[in-house]
Structure 1
Amino acid sequence: MALETAPKGEAPDDKAAREQKAIRELENRLAAAYAQERTAAEVGGAVRSAHDRFAASKVRDFVPILVERAVRRQLEPAADATAGVDADHAAAPTEKITTGAADPALPGRLRAVATDRRGLFALAGAGVVAAGAAAWAVTRPESGSVQAAAPVAGAPLTGVTGVVGSEKMAFFDDERVAEIFAAHGFDVRVRAAGSREISTSVDLGGQAFAFPSSLPAAEKLKREVGVQTQFTPFYSPMAIATFEPIVKLLDAAGAVKYDGPVPALDFSAYIDMVQRGVQWDELPGNRTYPVEKNILVSTTDVRTSNSAAMYLAVAGYVVNDHAVVRGATAEQHVLPTLQRLFLAQGYTEGSSTGPFEEYLTAGMGATPMTWIYEAQYVAAAVEGRLRPDMVLLYPSPTVVSRHTLVPLTPEGEQIGALLHNDPDLQSLAAEHGFRTGDTARFDEVVTEHDVPVAPDLVDVVDVPAFETLEHLLDGVAGAY
């Protein structure tokens, strides 16, 4: 899907001329606005320098907006009083109407969110959200979707901040994503945190949205803050990044299935090897990886990361005689094996980015099997970072991680709606490896880059209820 657009019938040369005219008008307007503090030459140099930074950008329609943002930030460095938000955004804070004090029983990290959310959503309910000079009409059609009117021409962008799972940082850092948000009047800034941390300990005060990588974490946030709305624009099955020699060894040991175009790790056979303490050098005929290490999949830290929680969900299901874990008796039955799966690994990182980067750079010796989101592997293939011996191995059964955005302000709700509904954002999400509602686009990406993935996910298990998952996670964490 091409993102570069132009009015119908407009030639590329005409479009370039239109952009140059907009830049000249911007330079004149900013020179007049800063006449008391800056010379015209200084303003002109700042505009040209900022414009040059977008020379390689494919999407040209929003470049003047982004140039203005960059120049204003450069010319008013002292005015940026709000962390992560441009000075022109901080100059006119969003009006708040407080409809009641925050529940004192809420955790401190959420109390301010709940108070601000009541005021902000009360204002949105009246039909208008005031943020800087940009005016937005918010409507709620019968379908329950959120729609935003086009921003006022020439208005500064509305700064929006959020906390997201680390596996989505590359998507939000993509310049093309920023340009699409800018076209809708938003400057979106995010910081990364482990998805379990987002739902349990991260301070969400001042954030417009939280975007963990699991539905249970999002449901917990919704209950605590009192939000009814959520958006699930992306999803990704969990998978294992490994190497061809490792797959052959596991296949010889009877732990690999070939039910489809992509190999799958028989998780029952894998759990059996873990429970028996089998090491790699004990596998018959092993001459490719004869190391004295237990056969284990490397994960993230179960105390902070959603991907580790998804690993726990699959393992718990298998150990519980292929049934979702429910109740105290089942929890106590599966807990010893779950503790072994994590404690035997030693040190684990807090987010999914670290282990996958080690897989890409350190090779088979350090990480023979790494638990990942399928999206990470696809994105690495798109970027040309995979070696010929690298293999994507699906666990059987697997679990699907549903990346769920919880809006904390009206602006956060509009960002969620854009991520869910905008076709260009959905297309870019597919390029970053995520599956979306646009299944055809995901198929195009994996076909173009020759990434072998499972087209149809059949052997998928449900995640335990949030309370059960928390009990299991705390049981493992307490054993460290």
Structure 2
Amino acid sequence: MSGDNLREEQAIRRTTDHLVQVFAGTHSAEHVESVMQAAYRRFDGLPVRDFVPVMVERIARGELTARLEAPAPTAPAPTEAAPTETAPTEAAPTETAPTETVPTETVPAKAVAAEAAALSDKPADVRPETTTAALTARMPSRKVLLPIGLAAAVVVVAAVVVVNLGREETPPPSPPLAVVRGVIGSEKKAFFEDPQVVRAFADKGVKVEVESAGSRQIATSMDLGRFDFAFPSSAPAGEYIQRKRKVSTKYTPFSSPMAIATFQPIADLLTKAGVVKQAPVATFDIGRYLELVTTDTKWDQLSGNSDYRVDKNILISTTDPRTSNSAAMYLAITSYVANGSKVVHGATAEKNVLPLVTQLFTSQGYTDNTSEGPFNEYLTVGMGPSPMVWIYEAQFVDAATRGQIKPGMVLMYPSPTVLSKHTLVPLNGSGDRVGRLLSTDPRLQRLAAEHGFRSADAADFAKVAADHQVRVPTDLIDVVDIPSYDTLEHLLDSVGKSYG
């Protein structure tokens, strides 16, 4: 699909969402979508596409409004009979004038739209009048396709579009929305702030207000009594909240594997060092990486390094393990590899892996509380301070949809990796309503995919990634299990103590 077609379809989708909200009190969402699609199909094959979304909106809005305002049929007014003459009269002969049959002609919608586009491109002082006559006079003669009255109506619609592009009807007042408050992992902030997501919730009668924090912070230190739901970025954090709040229900509306954001010169350098394999989807060997860490290898010691000659340890930049789920996922993967490719379990295994995993964090220096901070630095500063950043896959795909990924930015997948399951724990009935909507509403699921999350429909996510030229694995194969919540907490607490 070309970029122009994609933008046109996105415009149609946004307009449909808007009209669903405008006519929420009078027409069902399904009916509004049906009217929009019917209007859209009338312009199939039209070569000039610039005004198609505007034309479609005007036609659909007109039809929806007309159905609301159509007057009830009224009986014809009674007429008074005129008095009749009783005297006989001689009827005058009448002549019937011969009639000439003239072929009736109409203007198809495609021609009207093309003409409207042509007229709008001209300065106002040289445009012909945008009236039915002016428009139809410029149309090529064609045989009858529709009754002339309908053709005139279509032309009038086109004229209105050209003359009144900026005019917008005032939508009817909407019923009050139920406000639902939640605390979320920072990587989902852009999703909840998306105007399309806000409208999708509003169409269901809900206004969602969120506060973001590190996922481990949500589970261990936040006052959850202020919220209707908690939405950390991992199953272990969600499990702990369930236990602490005695909640049996949870929702996992979408997920995201962990990944590494880097730059092409760094990927090329690590390929020579045997850490990165640059296939269609680049992979990062965690075992080989840990060998470089344990031997205290510096960047400027790598063979053939001419792009990043700095006297710094080869380390992935992460978030703070004391507050953030993404750091906990990094610990889960590295502890698995350090434990002989086995999930860490028990005091002995914890003791054996702690020195190495502690070094991975404390050698970094300052770390941010949430994944939003280091990724924003990656997007804006470049590879100088952080040549490799530990992120959620969704963050990179979401940035690509926003046009923030620059040439030379590369996404790599750790081998092995873990799947971060974004787990919503409802704290009351209102929170449960949001969890159900996120998990079952097709519109919200599609919007989650547009923000880079892997939702229930894998095709949605694959299309978003392909449309924005992000290479992602279709099937996640090299995925390992996360340690139990208690084991993970023991490791994280021990690492945290090393910070002093």
Same fold by TM (over 0.5)?
yes
Aligned pair partner of 1:206 in 213, 216, 226: 226
Distance change >3 Å, CA 423–CA 275, structure 1 → 2 = same
Q: Does 1:13 align with 2:39?
A: no
Whichever residue aligns with residue 472 of structure 2, its letter is: V
1:322 counterpart residue number: 341
CA–CA separation in structure 2 for the residues paired with 1:398 and 1:64: 48
CA–CA separation in structure 2 for the residues paired with 1:175 and 1:401: 25
Residue 455 of structure 1: SS of its match in structure 2? coil
TM-score, with length taken from structure 1: 0.71
2:254 counterpart residue number: 234
2:266 counterpart residue number: 246
Q: Does 1:263 align with 2:289?
A: no
Residue 419 of structure 1: SS of its match in structure 2? helix
CA–CA separation in structure 2 for the residues paired with 1:235 and 1:399: 10
2:426 counterpart residue number: 407
Residue 349 of structure 1: SS of its match in structure 2? coil
Q: Does 1:339 align with 2:358?
A: yes
Aligned pair partner of 2:451 in 422, 432, 455: 432
Aligned pair partner of 2:401 in 352, 374, 382: 382
1:19–1:64 Cα contact (<8 Å) kept: no
CA drift at 1:7 = 5.2
CA–CA separation in structure 2 for the residues paired with 1:238 and 1:8: 39
Aligned pair partner of 1:163 in 183, 206, 220: 183
Residue 403 of structure 1: SS of its match in structure 2? strand
Q: Aligned runs of 1:13-52 on 2, under 5 Å? A: 13=58, 15-17=60-62
Q: What are structure 2's unaligned runs of at least 5 residues?
A: 1-8, 18-31, 40-56, 70-164
CA drift at 1:14 = 5.2
Distance change >3 Å, CA 156–CA 465, structure 1 → 2 = same
Residue 402 of structure 1: SS of its match in structure 2? strand
Q: Percent of pairs identical after alignment?
A: 54
1:353 counterpart residue number: 372
Q: Give deviations 1:403-447, integer Å, cap 9, x for gaps.
A: 000000111101000000111111111110000111011111011
CA drift at 1:366 = 1.2
Q: Aligned runs of 1:95-134 on 2, under 5 Å? A: none
2:258–2:393 Cα contact (<8 Å) kept: yes
Q: Does 1:302 align with 2:328?
A: no
Aligned-pair Cα RMSD in Å: 2.3
CA–CA separation in structure 2 for the residues paired with 1:14 and 1:263: 48
CA–CA separation in structure 1 for the residues paired with 2:190 and 2:448: 10
Distance change >3 Å, CA 7–CA 276, structure 1 → 2 = closer
CA–CA separation in structure 1 for the residues paired with 2:427 and 2:201: 18
TM-score, with length taken from structure 2: 0.68
2:179–2:209 Cα contact (<8 Å) kept: yes
- Is the radius of gyration larger for structure 1 or structure 2? 2
Aligned pair partner of 1:216 in 207, 232, 236: 236
CA drift at 1:18 = 7.9
CA drift at 1:21 = 10
1:242–1:391 Cα contact (<8 Å) kept: yes
Distance change >3 Å, CA 225–CA 64, structure 1 → 2 = farther
CA–CA separation in structure 1 for the residues paired with 2:61 and 2:453: 33
CA–CA separation in structure 1 for the residues paired with 2:200 and 2:473: 30
Q: How many residues align?
A: 357
Distance change >3 Å, CA 21–CA 338, structure 1 → 2 = farther
2:216–2:237 Cα contact (<8 Å) kept: yes
CA–CA separation in structure 1 for the residues paired with 2:34 and 2:351: 65
1:339–1:479 Cα contact (<8 Å) kept: yes
Residue 461 of structure 1: SS of its match in structure 2? coil
CA drift at 1:9 = 3.8
Q: Does 1:189 align with 2:209?
A: yes
Residue 303 of structure 1: SS of its match in structure 2? coil
CA–CA separation in structure 2 for the residues paired with 1:402 and 1:344: 28
Residue 205 of structure 1: SS of its match in structure 2? helix
Residue 34 of structure 2: SS of its match in structure 1? coil
Residue 225 of structure 2: SS of its match in structure 1? coil
Q: Give deviations 1:287-335, integer Å, cap 9, x for gaps.
A: 1101000000000000000000000000000000000000000000000
Q: Does 1:280 align with 2:299?
A: yes
CA–CA separation in structure 1 for the residues paired with 2:457 and 2:488: 30
CA drift at 1:226 = 1.0
2:257–2:420 Cα contact (<8 Å) kept: yes
CA–CA separation in structure 2 for the residues paired with 1:199 and 1:403: 13
CA–CA separation in structure 2 for the residues paired with 1:362 and 1:20: 51
CA–CA separation in structure 2 for the residues paired with 1:208 and 1:18: 40
Whichever residue aligns with residue 456 of structure 2, its letter is: G
Q: Aligned runs of 1:143-154 on 2, under 5 Å? A: none
1:214–1:404 Cα contact (<8 Å) kept: yes
Distance change >3 Å, CA 7–CA 386, structure 1 → 2 = closer
Whichever residue aligns with residue 58 of structure 2, its letter is: D
Residue 8 of structure 1: SS of its match in structure 2? helix
CA–CA separation in structure 2 for the residues paired with 1:465 and 1:346: 28
CA–CA separation in structure 1 for the residues paired with 2:64 and 2:370: 41
Q: Give deviations 1:320-365, integer Å, cap 9, x for gaps.
A: 0000000000000000001100000000000000000000111011
CA–CA separation in structure 2 for the residues paired with 1:349 and 1:338: 18
CA drift at 1:257 = 2.6
